[in-house]
C-alpha cells in the first residue's frame, strides 16, 4: 500500500510517500480501505518527534482519523461487514491506503456526507465529547468558552454545544475568524489580539463567569481562565501550546470551588473510546444526518502532498479541517 511516512523528525518536507505492507488486523478489528484522512495538530507534533505513538502503532505513519470502506473483518467482529462505509478514530497509521481499527471505534458515515467530510469528524468530535460533556460535565443551559474557536476542535465544540442547548463563547485570532465562529453559531467570538478575553467574559456574563472552559492554549491564558470561571466551574485542558508551567491562584480555586482537569485521548483504552463512539452515535450523529451539524473543510490535499497540508496547519491560516485524499 501507499503510505505517508515520517522519514525522520523535522519539518513538513520529511513527509514522503512510500510503499509499505498492508497492516494485519486482529479478531476484533476491521481493515479499512482509506479514502480520506484528517490532518490534526498531534500529527504535526509527531512529525517533529514530540509526540511518539503508543506501542503497537506504526511509529512513522501519522494519522488519527480516517474514512473509507471496510475491506476485511476480524473473526469476532459482530457489527460491520465488508463494504460498509465508516469513519474511525485510530491511534496512528491513518495516512495510508489501509488502516486497521478496533470495531468499536468505527462509526457509520451518514448518507449526506462524503468520505472527505467524514474524515474530518472523529478526532475532533471524540475529543470534544470526552472533554466537554463527559469530563467537563457541560449540562443543557450552561455556558462554554472555547479557545481556538476556528480550529477543528473549535468548530466541533461550537456546533455540538449549541445543538445541545448551551451558550458558547470562543476566542480567535482575527476579526474574520471571529465572524466565522459567530456565523457558525457562537454567541460571541472574542479577538484575543484586540481584547482581553477574561474582561469580555466578565462583561458578557454580568460578572458570573462561564461554567466550562475548553483550553488547548495553557501558559499565560491560565490566570484568565481561572478568572473567567463561574462558581463550580470546570477548566478542561487538552493541550498547552503556550506552555505547561503556569501560576494558578489557588485561593480562587478554593473560593469558587473550581475543578481543573484534562486528558489525552490517544493512549486511552479501546473500551473507553468505544463508549465515546456510542454516545456520539446516539446524541450527535442524528444531528449530522439532519444537517444541523455540518463538517467544515478548509482544504483538501492529495495524500502525496501531505507536506503542504502540514505547512498550512502550522501557519494557522485556516478555519475548520484539513483533509488528505487517497
CATH topology of domain 2-121+267-325: Quinone Oxidoreductase; Chain A, domain 1 (3.90.180)
- Hey, how many other C-beta atoms are within 10 angstroms of the C-beta on 194? 10
- Counted residue by residue, the chain has a size of 326
Residue limits of CATH 3.40.50.720 in the chain = 124-262
Per-residue confidence (pLDDT) for residue 268, from 0 to 100: 93
User: Whole-angstrom Cα distance, residue 215 to residue 262?
Assistant: 9
User: Whole-angstrom Cα distance, residue 84 to residue 69?
Assistant: 6
315's CB contacts (< 8 A; 6+ apart) are: none
**For the packed helices 152-163 and 175-184, what is the interaxial angle rounded to 10 degrees?**
30
pLDDT in tens, the chain (326 residues): 999 999 999 999 999 999 999 999 999 999 999 999 999 999 999 999 999 898 889 999 999 999 999 999 999 999 999 999 999 999 999 999 999 999 999 999 999 999 999 999 999 999 999 999 999 999 999 999 999 999 999 999 999 999 999 999 999 999 999 999 999 999 999 999 999 999 999 999 999 999 999 999 999 999 999 999 999 999 999 999 899 999 999 999 999 999 999 999 998 999 999 999 999 999 999 999 999 999 999 999 999 999 999 999 999 889 999 999 99
Q: Would the CA dihedral through 60, 62, 66, 68 be positive or negative?
A: negative
User: Whole-angstrom Cα distance, residue 33 to residue 64?
Assistant: 15
- Please check whether residue 222 is in contact with residue 244, taking contact to mean a CB–CB distance below 8 angstroms: no
CATH of 124-262, one of 3.90.100.10, 3.40.1640.10, 3.40.50.720, 2.40.128.20: 3.40.50.720
66 phi and psi angles, rounded to 5 deg: -140, 165
- Please check whether residue 44 is in contact with residue 80, taking contact to mean a CB–CB distance below 8 angstroms: no
- Of 130, 122, 52, nearest in space to 89 by CA: 122
Exposure b/e, 304-313, CB count within 10 A at least 16 = b: ebbbbbbbbb
Exposed/middle/buried for residue 134 (C-beta within 10 Å: 0-12, 13-18, 19+)? middle
Render pLDDT for 114-155 as a digit per residue (tens, 0 to 9): 999 999 999 999 999 999 999 999 999 999 999 999 999 999
Residue limits of CATH 3.90.180.10 in the chain = 2-121+267-325
Amino acid at each position: 500500500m501507499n503510505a505517508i511516512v515520517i522519514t525522520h523528525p523535522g519539518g513538513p518536507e520529511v513527509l514522503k510517500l512510500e510503499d509499505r505492507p498492508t497492516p494485519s488486523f486482529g479478531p476484533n478489528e476491521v481493515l479499512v480501505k482509506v479514502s480520506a484522512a484528517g490532518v490534526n495538530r498531534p500529527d504535526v507534533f509527531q512529525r517533529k518527534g514530540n509526540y511518539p505513538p503508543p506501542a503497537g502503532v506504526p511509529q512513522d505513519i501519522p494519522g488519527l482519523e480516517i474514512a473509507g470502506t471496510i475491506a476485511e473483518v476480524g473473526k469476532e467482529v459482530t457489527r460491520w461487514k465488508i463494504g460498509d462505509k465508516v469513519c474511525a478514530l485510530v491511534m496512528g497509521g491513518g495516512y495510508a491506503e489501509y488502516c486497521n481499527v478496533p470495531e468499536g471505534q468505527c462509526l457509520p458515515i451518514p448518507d449526506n456526507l462524503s468520505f472527505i467530510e467524514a474524515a474530518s469528524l472523529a478526532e475532533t468530535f471524540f475529543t470534544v465529547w470526552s472533554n466537554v460533556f463527559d469530563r467537563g460535565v457541560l449540562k443543557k443551559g450552561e455556558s462554554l468558552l472555547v479557545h481556538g474557536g476556528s480550529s477543528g476542535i473549535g468548530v466541533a465544540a461550537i456546533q455540538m454545544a449549541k445543538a445541545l442547548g448551551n451558550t458558547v463563547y470562543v476566542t480567535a485570532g482575527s476579526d474574520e475568524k471571529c465572524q466565522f465562529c459567530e456565523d457558525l453559531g457562537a454567541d460571541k467570538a472574542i479577538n484575543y489580539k484586540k481584547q482581553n478575553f477574561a474582561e469580555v467574559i466578565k462583561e458578557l456574563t454580568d460578572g458570573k463567569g462561564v461554567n466550562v472552559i475548553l483550553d488547548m492554549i495553557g501558559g499565560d491564558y491560565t490566570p484568565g481562565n481561572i478568572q473567567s470561571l463561574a462558581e463550580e466551574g470546570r477548566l478542561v485542558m487538552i493541550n498547552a501550546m503556550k506552555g505547561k508551567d503556569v501560576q494558578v491562584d489557588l485561593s480562587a480555586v478554593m473560593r469558587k470551588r473550581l475543578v481543573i482537569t484534562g486528558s489525552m485521548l490517544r493512549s486511552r483504552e479501546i473500551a473507553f473510546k468505544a463508549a465515546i463512539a456510542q454516545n456520539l452515535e446516539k446524541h450527535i450523529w442524528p444531528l449530522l444526518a439532519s444537517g444541523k451539524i455540518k463538517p467544515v473543510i478548509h482544504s483538501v490535499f492529495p495524500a502525496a502532498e501531505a507536506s503542504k497540508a502540514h505547512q498550512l496547519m502550522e501557519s494557522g491560516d485556516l478555519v475548520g479541517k484539513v483533509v488528505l485524499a487517497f
